[in-house]
Amino acid sequence: MAAIVHRCTCTHLDHVHATHPTKDDTRPCTMSGCPCPDSAPAAPELIPTWAAASPFATALPDPAVLEPGTADGFGRLCDCEDCWSLYDTTGGQAA
């Protein structure tokens, strides 16, 4: 599978930033040692995820793209207009 995500300027995916804003209305990065004080997401990008037929099988890329707004291992995926536009561009299939 593939997922459409935003990457922060700290290079980490946006979903690793605090889920809810702090009292200062910021979403700091939760990755150990990252000094990023607030999420600053860039344009959406398509990243691969991997699946295996069984726990002992070799993981292989799945060409399907997860629909924006669905929940998966990343939590709930963003469903902003830019994410939907990228999804529409892919036709729901990763290259």
Q: What is the pLDDT of residues 35-48, one digit of tens each?
A: 999 999 999 999 88
Whether the pLDDT of residue 60 is over 70: the answer is no
Give the residue among 42, 40, 38 at the shortest CA–CA distance from 5: 42
Question: Using 50, 70 and 90 to split pLDDT, how confident is the model at 80?
Answer: very high
Give the residue among 83, 91, 90, 94 at the shortest CA–CA distance from 61: 94
Question: Using 50, 70 and 90 to split pLDDT, how confident is the model at 94?
Answer: confident
Domain ranges of the chain: 2-57+64-90
